[in-house]
Structure 1
Amino acid sequence: MNYTTKDIQQRVDHYISQFKEGYFSPLSLQARLTEEVGEMAREINHRYGEKPKKKTEKDKALEEELGDVIFVLTCFANSLDIDMSEAFEQSMSKIESRDKNRWTRKGEGSSYNE
């Protein structure tokens, strides 16, 4: 299934709108995002790092952890009335401009040109 950021924001809003409590406060969402990113980092460390899982720990799909991060980020954006597509566009424009000569392009010899 393919979702646009608008689809994702609408689906999350539809889900959250069912509950009287609504979205958590920005501070609570930041704490929750930190928690979810930590869970994703732990899974990455188990898979690609030097820290093996305990025998009692279940395997978690990295996709599930990334999905949790996307959900909380979407809650954050929705609660602050931020369009994720616009936020992404602003970020990519900044990165594409600032870092356009920073990395070695495929087929070129030198890397950082600044």
Structure 2
Amino acid sequence: MEQRKTLQQIQQEVDDYISQFKEGYFSPLAMMARMTEEVGELAREINHYYGEKPKKQEEGEKTIEEELGDVFFIVLCFANSLGISLEEAFHRIMHKFYTRDKDRWTRIEE
């Protein structure tokens, strides 16, 4: 069984991959455009599976998992290019949810 990677290891793997190319990371504006494009492709797949818009016969088969992977990759690239640790960002956002939003939704009774 393959050992699971930490978020830090995943970010490093993406950085190692991108660093082998002279072009390196795209500019923040270009990455924002790319992220928007990838989220749009994810939205399209969600609409095909759960919405009212069936896929055309000539459209290739893609999955929600594949599209989420594309979004994840560009988020990793974006963070790396700006020197942001997604692990630290995750801990900060979870702290916000555990404190500011702790009573925002109805809890499931145990």
**CA-to-aligned-CA distance 1:38-62 (integer Å, 9 cap, x gap):** 1011100100011111111122011
User: Structure 1 stretches of 5 or more lacking a match?
Assistant: 109-114
Paired amino acid for 1:3:
K
Count of residue pairs brought into register by the alignment:
108
What residue is the counterpart of 1:62 in the other structure?
Answer: 64
Greater relative contact order (CA < 8 Å, ≥ 6 in sequence): 2
Larger deviation: 55-64 or 69-78?
55-64
Paired amino acid for 1:16:
I
Larger deviation: 44-53 or 55-64?
55-64
RMSD, aligned CA: 1.2
What residue is the counterpart of 1:89 in the other structure?
Answer: 91
| Offset, 1:64 | 0.8
| Offset, 1:104 | 1.0
User: Structure 2 stretches of 5 or more lacking a match?
Assistant: none
What are the equivalent positions in structure 2 for 1:33-48 lying under 5 Å apart?
33-48=35-50
Paired amino acid for 1:50:
E
What residue is the counterpart of 1:26 in the other structure?
Answer: 28
Paired amino acid for 2:26:
F
Identity among equivalent pairs (%): 65
What residue is the counterpart of 1:77 in the other structure?
Answer: 79
| Offset, 1:91 | 0.9
| Offset, 1:3 | 2.2
What residue is the counterpart of 1:112 in the other structure?
Answer: none
Structure 2: how far apart are the matches of 1:94 and 1:84? 15
Query: Secondary structure, in 3 states, of the residue corresponding to 1:101?
Result: coil
What residue is the counterpart of 1:16 in the other structure?
Answer: 18
TM-score, with length taken from structure 2: 0.93
Structure 1: how far apart are the matches of 2:50 and 2:9? 32
What residue is the counterpart of 1:50 in the other structure?
Answer: 52
